Amino acid sequence: MGRHLIAGDIHCHYSLLREALDKAGFDPKADTLYCVGDIADRGPEPIAMIYYLMSLQDFRPVLGNHDVWLRDYLVSDILSGSWLSDNGGSGTVNAFMKAGVSREERMRIGEWLASFPYVRIEDDYLIVHGGIPKGWSFEEMRLLAGLKPRPMGYAIAEDPQSSPLWNRSYLQSAMAFEHGADSAFLQPPLDSDRHIFIGHTPLSSPFFSDLYHLTALDTGAGHGRKLTVMDMDSREYWQA
């Protein structure tokens, strides 16, 4: 039986991903690779990264906000101004144009991205890109895990003001508690024994919280820092 590995935000850093997976001894025929979302944008190798992940027999991502922007461009030619100017979208679009990716192939990749769930709840794990908004229950996260993302535009679950794709309040509360804040003034831990893996917030190293059952895995690959791959059961990790 293979291992369950999970990658932090990849952001089109194909070479870093392969290096971290090599350090982890990843066996694509036996191991399952999860991802906390944001495979897209900011990095130099979007095409190679996408085709590699599409080739894996057991790749289980969740949708990140950058993946939403890329999905909508590929499927519906939607070009968000903030995506292009501030979030690496222009480089991604240029890479697709330079590679001469056909309209048919763009649709195929876009539909693959559209198949990513907002939340994964499997075995002892809950995986979501941004976090758990204040006031949300495990049952609401479970319902969102069963909701199929739509292939164009923003759904309610993709709203930057309240969505688990964007929300940082759960991580912020966990970090504040670790630094001695009074838990009475913080967002409470989710009422579930499942371990929660998130990305979205670039940190200098993985963050762990026993109280919040939380591991945060974005270590800044999209900002010129490191990409992390972790064994979901042992919490051992490797970086490139």
Q: What is the CATH number of the domain that holds 213?
A: 3.60.21.10
What share of the chain has pLDDT > 90, as a percent? 88
What's the pLDDT score for residue 153? 45
Chain segment 90-145, per-residue pLDDT in tens = 999 999 999 999 999 999 999 999 999 999 999 899 999 999 999 999 999 999 99
Helix residue ranges per DSSP H, 77-214: 81-86, 89-99, 103-114, 138-145, 169-178
Given a cut of 70, whether residue 27 has pLDDT beyond it is yes
Chain segment 191-200, per-residue pLDDT in tens = 999 999 999 9
DSSP states of 29-43: TT-EEEE-S--SSSS
What's the pLDDT score for residue 162? 79
Q: Which domain holds residue 69?
A: 4-239
What's the pLDDT score for residue 157? 67
Candidates 230, 231, 168; CA nearest to 205 is: 230
What's the pLDDT score for residue 81? 85
What's the pLDDT score for residue 150? 65
Q: Provide the number of structural domains found in the chain.
A: 1
pTM for this model (two decimals): 0.95
CA distances from 34 to 96, 161, 191 (A): 25, 26, 23
Number of alpha carbons in the 13 Å side-chain half-sphere of residue 177: 21
- Give 125's contacts (C-beta < 8 A, 6+ positions apart): 4, 34, 194, 195, 196, 197, 232
Looking at this protein, which amino acid is placed at residue 82?
A: S
Given a cut of 90, whether residue 152 has pLDDT beyond it is no
What's the pLDDT score for residue 188? 97
Q: Give kind and range of the element (H or E) at residue 24.
A: helix 14-24
Output the average pLDDT for the chain.
94
What's the pLDDT score for residue 154? 47
Report the alpha-carbon distance of residue 190 to residue 193 in Å, rounded: 8
